[in-house]
Structure formats: C-alpha cells, structure tokens
Amino acid sequence: MKFIVYVSQARKPFSADALKDLLDHSRKRNDADGITGLLIYRYNADFDRGNFLQVLEGRDDAIEDVWRRISNDPRHHTIVVIEEGPLDTRMFPDWSMGFKNVDTGDLAGHEGFADMGSDAFWRNARALTAPEALDLMTGFYDGG
C-alpha cells in the first residue's frame, strides 16, 4: 500500500452543492477502488480562494490511477505533493473519503496551515511537511 498527501488551489471557490457532488462521486469511486482518506476544503475569503488538502491511501496501482485523475482535474491547479510513500497500516480505514470544510479556527495552531489559502501559504507550500499535514488530518479523523 501507499499514500499521498497534497494541497491544491481550486480554480474557483466551490459551493456547498459542488462539494457535495465531488464527495459523492469520490466516495463511490474510492469504495470501488479500495481507497480511503480525507479531504479538507478551506475557503479563504481574504483571497477569494478555495483550497484542498487531501490524503489518499490504498493499493499502489489504485493510488497511481486516482492520482492521474486528480492531477488532470481542471477544477484545481497549483498541486503540490507534500509527501508520498509506502504505508503498512491505513490511517483512515473507515473513510472512503472523509471530509471537513474548515475555517480559520479549525487551522489555528497547525504550523504551516493556519493561513491556508493566503499568498504566504502558497509561497511556502513546497516546504510543508507530512508530519504537520497528517497531524492536522488525523486530528479531524480522531476527533470526528
């Protein structure tokens, strides 16, 4: 098995209906492909930007397939891989695609992610590390 963690910027902010459609489609596909993970969406009103932080985990071939689709999805750009690698045990075994729509308060205290969506965040996106990203994400998983 393997995992991948990335951030990206939405071409335009996602409405609640667009997020629901994205999640419905992703969950069906992920169930069929044996992929689990978590998607975080953050709308930054100061910059009028929607941003994604996602972790996906599953069989190597399934992750490679979903990564091709994600990389070519025209709904987002500036895709930065934070980390990818082998995985012995799933971090999100119960979620075909967990989801959290976060605001500033949800990200406070998470170094590197507190200003997600700002210009400073994107200038430093390549310096983000998996421990901080996974700590943030598993906190939502463990805390509900």
Express each pLDDT in 23-70 by its tens digit.
999 999 999 999 999 999 999 999 999 999 999 999 999 999 999 999
**Domain-by-domain residue ranges, the chain?**
2-143
Architecture of domain 2-143: 2-Layer Sandwich (3.30)
- Please state the pTM of the whole predicted model: 0.92
Query: Per-residue confidence at 143, pLDDT binned at 50, 70, 90?
Result: low
Burial 27-64 (b: 16+ CB within 10 A, else e): bebbeebebbbbbbbbbbeeeebbbbbbbbbbeeebbe
Output Rg (C-alpha) for the chain, integer angstroms: 14
pLDDT at 144 over 60: no
- 108's CB contacts (< 8 A; 6+ apart) are 114
**What's the pLDDT tens digit per position in 63-95?**
999 999 999 999 999 999 999 999 999 999 988
